[in-house]
Chains A and B, each alone.
Chain A
Amino acid sequence: MTTVLPAYAPWRTATSALRDGAARFAQLVATPLVPADYLDLVSPLRSGAELRGRIVAVQPETLNAATVVIKPGRGWRGHVPGQYVRIGVDVEGVRQWRAYSLTSPAGRPDGCITITVKAMPDGVVSNHLVHEAQPGTIIQLDQARGEFTLQDARPDRVLFVTAGSGITPVMGMLRDRGDQLADVVVIHSAPTQEDVIFGAELRWLAATGRIRLIERHTDADGMLDVAELDELVPDLASREIWACGPTGLLDALEQHVQAAGLAGRLHTERFRPTVLVTGEGGTVTFSGSGTVVQAAGDTPLLAAGEAAGVLMPSGCRMGICFGCVVPLREGAVRDLRTGELTTAAPGDGVLIQTCVSSAAGTCDIDL
């Protein structure tokens, strides 16, 4: 066994001691604020700052979708195409966090990243980003996350099944690794030809022979039935599949692939949780802040707390990242996806995911 001794580097110890000392001194100068509060006044994107980004441009894609180009702060650690980023934007003065798949290739020369957003009817953040966001605005960012990537596997044959805004993570992969994938089929559904996000780019990729594109315009041709897949893609069994789109499509696809014994080949990304049941609702106390709200049985505790101004930690908002986990001090909550009931007696502090749990009676949350 060999042990590697760190090289003796007194200057490094000295500089780090100096840096610590300087930081402590800066803290004494700034109290009760922190030095960052002052630095943020002039340089919100500096390294060491909380991660933020500046909107550089908003480019329309379709009538109700747009690509937002963001210059991330110095702390951005990069992403793997297919991953998503969480952004915090202020809409009507209220900070809202949402997840969006990255549509830019890794390491763009200008250092920018892009997300592509489709405006949902009544959607608070999506409409704001597509129709109102202004270049120059500072937004909050989180590091990229997500498992929906090509990973290191470089499969010979790939099938992408997407619908609507579900094309976004796939576009990121195609832009990044399109050249390295030998045989790619893309089946994409949208209501009409005009609604196809990245329609021109996809068709160009197809025209130049980089992908085989099957465009499905559902207003005219009806929804894709997964049973058609075997016909559309005869060599389905030999392909690695990545799919992203509405719940119905993904559920059907999962069943189909499972039945064909190919379950291990399918990777999916969901944009919203599948809600199975609703809870009973109840009085929710956020004991840290002393806030009390009446939460409906179909409202995630995350949304109930946010609406009352409680600072709720959050992540994907759909039950996959565990960024919203907090202790339930007492009471009962129901998992909106499975109906499972979780109860806590005083002192238990059972950890729950607030984004997919609703009140099932009186509960007390440690926030």
Chain B
Amino acid sequence: MTVMQKKAENPVAHLSARDIEDLGLELDAIRAQVIASRGEHDAAYIRRVIDAQRKLDLASRAVLLFSLFPPAWALGTAGLSVAKILENMEIGHNIMHGQWDWMRDPKIHSTTWEWDNASPADMWKHSHNELHHTYTNVIGKDNDLGYGIMRVDEDQRWMPFYLGQPLWNFINACLFEYGIAAYDLEIAKNWAGRKDNAEFQRQRKAVLGKIRKQMTKDYLVHPLLSGPSALTTLGANLTANLVRNLWTHSVIMCGHFPEGVQTFAKKSIEGETRGEWYLRQMLGSANISGGKLTHLMTGNLSFQIEHHLYPDLPSNRYAEIAPKVQELFERYGLTYVTGSLPRQVGSAWKKVIRLSLPNGFLANLKSARRPVRVAAPAADASGAGRPFMERIAA
């Protein structure tokens, strides 16, 4: 099975095993520099973001007490949407990655944080940190890749079910937090009878408990507090959650789905070295270009490549290391996939639509190249580079 996305050329054919290990060492050095310089400035940053987010959340909910009045509805809904996005992305996602554990503040720690989302923190940490970040873009192992309901590579056999995948993807986007909870629960695995039932029941209870609390807050308590504005506040909260879901889904789709991002076969990662692991992260992720606000609102997942190389470095430092990482891409002849948010979202959607159809169906769609088997690497004199390449091209 071809795993690199259909490309006329194999993107790593020119790298020897030695090159890949050197690349790993250079990436390790960048990591070490950041760790050595973590300090007060970084701690102040995350505290500032948390402080601002909580104040925005409080203020927005206060404004929504008067949501019967349309300008208050608009202002409160916008504020609450932003607060929820910040909480999920720059704060929750990154804290649960352990990016701030070094501060040893029990209130800002991966083991104590609970986020404003349907999926309980400990379950999300397992499926995200352990599965997605370990098996990045490995088909069949990485749930984030198509969430198990979509066809993400030309080599996956096409079935009529996939015709609906643009719709499935849109529904998943609208209900994203529940989608996340569902696949953190590994419902599909449970259906297939491959999950320990007692464990599944325990987790199901945890998810339902969390969802109940979340819903009680957003759809019952806060509306009731709004008195005459109860219905409009309910609407505002529904809207804010929807906006948050659509936004986070879009950002996450941009991370691994746009054209140019590679996917990998299960077999290709057996016995992977550290250098090869780094290389897979580099080829399997895509960035979003933009200004400071874009980076903040995407939780710095706009630096998806840097985040995948260093999932536990503080997010505020990705911007600073991005030029160094990009320089490595250039020096090692790799493509740093990046683009504006609209472009990357468009690209990802195009791929979703393309793959919903049998291969080659839209031969005239520009990016739908005919499948070309990745060339076996021209073995260099030493024969170095073969194993990884063979695994990739196998």
Interface residues of A (CB under 8 A from B): 25, 28-33, 37-38, 41, 90, 92-96, 288-289, 306, 309-311
- 10 cross-chain pairs, A with B, having the tightest CB-CB distances, nearest first: A93-B43, A309-B101, A32-B114, A95-B104, A92-B39, A93-B40, A31-B213, A309-B102, A93-B39, A28-B221
- Our pick among A41, A92, A289 for the contact of B54 (Cβ within 8 Å) is A41
How far is B217's CA from A28's CA once the two chains are assembled, in angstroms? 6
Task: Name the residue of chain A whose CB is nearest to the CB of B38.
Answer: A93
Q: From known contacts A93-B38, A93-B103, A94-B104, infer whether A311 and B112 are also in contact, taking CB-CB under 8 Å.
A: yes
Interface residues of B in 87-107 (CB under 8 A from A): 98, 101-107
Count residues of B near A (Cβ-Cβ below 8 Å): 34
Partner of A28, one of B102, B114, B115, B213: B213
Consensus secondary structure, chain B interface = helix
In the assembled complex, which residues on chain B have CB atoms less than 8 Å from the CB atom of A90? 40, 43, 103, 105
Q: Distance (Å) between the CB of A41 and the closest chain B CB?
A: 6
Cβ-defined contact, B111 with A311, below 8 A:
yes
B276 close to chain A: CB less than 8 A:
no
Query: Could you say which of A37, A288, A309 contacts B98, with CB atoms under 8 Å apart?
Result: A309
B222 touches A92 (CB 8 A): no
Nearest residue (CB) in A for B109 is A311
Q: How far is the CA of A256 from the CA of B111 in the complex (A)?
A: 50
Q: How far is the CB of B301 from chain A (nearest CB, A)?
A: 21
Report chain B residues within 8 Å CB of A306. Answer: 104
Rounded to whole Å, the gap between the CB of B209 and the closest CB of chain A is 11
Contacts of B106 in A (CB 8 A): 311
Could you list 20 A-B pairs, sorted by A, with CB under 8 Å? A25-B221, A28-B216, A29-B221, A29-B222, A30-B217, A31-B213, A32-B114, A32-B116, A32-B210, A32-B213, A33-B54, A41-B54, A41-B58, A90-B40, A90-B43, A92-B40, A93-B42, A289-B110, A309-B98, A311-B106
Q: Which residues of B contact A33 (CB under 8 A)?
A: 54, 114
Contacts A93-B42, A93-B43, A311-B104 given: A32-B54 contact, CB under 8 Å? no
B225–A29 CB distance below 8 A? yes
Q: In the bound complex, do residue A288 and residue B51 qualify as a contact, i.e. CB atoms below 8 Å apart?
A: no
Residues in A with CB closer than 8 Å to B217 are 28-31
Q: Determine if B55 is an interface residue (Cβ-Cβ < 8 Å).
A: yes
A94 adjacent to B103 (CB under 8 Å): yes
A41 CA to B58 CA in the complex, in Å?
A: 11
Q: In the complex, what residue of chain A is closest to B216 when comparing beta carbons?
A: A28
Residues of the A chain whose Cβ atoms lie less than 8 Å from the Cβ of B111: 288-289, 311
CB of A309 within 8 A of CB of B104, answer: yes
B41-76 interface (Cβ within 8 A of A)? 41-44, 51, 54-55, 58
Rounded to whole angstroms, the CA-CA distance of A311 and B102 in the bound complex is: 9
B340 within 8 A of A: no
Q: Which of A25, A95, A289 contacts B103 (CB 8 A)?
A: A95
Shortest Cβ gap from B234 to chain A (Å): 15
Q: Write the chain B residue with the least CB distance to A307.
A: B102
Asked if B55 and A95 sit within 8 Å, CB to CB, the answer is no
Residues of A within 8 A of B40 (CB): 90, 92-93
By CB atoms of chain B within 10 A, which of A29, A90, A93, A310 has the most?
A: A93
Could you tell me the distance in whole angstroms from the C-beta of A328 to the nearest C-beta in chain B? 19
Known: A32-B116, A288-B111, A311-B109. 19 other contacts (CB 8 A): A28-B213, A28-B217, A28-B221, A29-B217, A31-B216, A32-B114, A37-B54, A38-B58, A90-B105, A92-B39, A93-B39, A93-B40, A93-B43, A93-B44, A94-B103, A95-B103, A95-B105, A289-B111, A309-B101
Give the residues in chain B near A41, CB-CB below 8 Å: 51, 54-55, 58
Q: Give B109-127 interface residues, CB cut-off 8 Å to A.
A: 109-112, 114-116
* B273 contacts chain A at the CB level, 8 A cutoff: no
A32-B87 Cα distance, complex, nearest whole Å: 11
Q: Which of B103, B109, B214 contacts A32 (CB 8 A)?
A: B214
Neighbouring B residues of A310 by C-beta, 8 Å: 101
B39: shortest Cβ distance to chain A, in Å? 4
List the A side residues contacting B216 at CB < 8 Å: 28, 31
Asked if residues A32 and B42 are in contact (CB atoms below 8 Å), the reply is no
Q: A296–B110 Cα gap in the complex (Å)?
A: 25
B210 cross-chain contacts in A, Cβ below 8 A: 32
For residues 342 through 363 of chain B, which have their beta carbon under 8 Å from a beta carbon of chain A? none
Taking the closest CB of chain B, its distance from the CB of A171, in whole angstroms, is 31
Bound-state Cα–Cα, A243 to B112, Å? 41
CA–CA, A93 to B100, complex, Å?
10
B244 to chain A, nearest CB (A): 14
Chain A min CB distance to B363 (Å): 48
Which of chain A's residues have a CB closer than 8 A to the CB of B105? 90, 95
Contact with A along B220-244 (1 / 0, CB 8 A): 0110010000000000000000000
A31→B112 CA distance, assembly (Å): 14
CB distance from A42 to the nearest CB of B (A): 10
B102 touches A94 (CB 8 A): yes
Query: What is the bound-complex CA distance between A95 and B103, given in angstroms?
Result: 6
Chain A contacts of B103 at CB under 8 A?
Answer: 90, 93-95
- The interface residues of chain B lying within 8 Å CB-to-CB of A25 are 221
The digit string for B188-218, where 1 denotes a CB below 8 A from any CB of A, is 0000000000000000000000100110110
- Chain B residues with CB under 8 Å of A288's CB are 111
Cβ-closest chain A residue relative to B61: A29
Q: With the chains together, A309 CA to B112 CA distance in Å?
A: 13
Residues of the A chain whose Cβ atoms lie less than 8 Å from the Cβ of B43: 90, 93-94
For the complex, what is the distance from the CA of A310 to the CA of B115, rounded to whole Å? 20
Instruction: For A92, give the chain B residue with the smallest CB separation.
Output: B39
Alpha-carbon distance between A32 and B101 when the two chains are bound, in angstroms: 20
- Compute how far the CA of A309 lies from the CA of B103 in the bound complex, rounded to whole angstroms: 7
Bound: A193/B106 CA distance, A: 43
CB distance from B101 to the nearest CB of A (A): 3
Q: Given A288-B111, A289-B111, A311-B106, check contact A31 B214 (CB 8 Å).
A: yes
Q: Given the complex, which residues of A lie within 8 Å of B109, measured CB to CB?
A: 311
Determine the residue in chain A with the shortest Cβ distance to B51. Answer: A41
Report A-chain residues with C-beta under 8 Å of the C-beta of B51.
Answer: 41
CA distance A31 to B61 in the complex (A): 14
- Kindly state the separation between the CA atoms of A37 and B222 in the bound complex, as whole angstroms: 18
State the Cβ distance, B165 to closest chain A Cβ, in Å. Answer: 32
Residues of A within 8 A of B222 (CB): 29
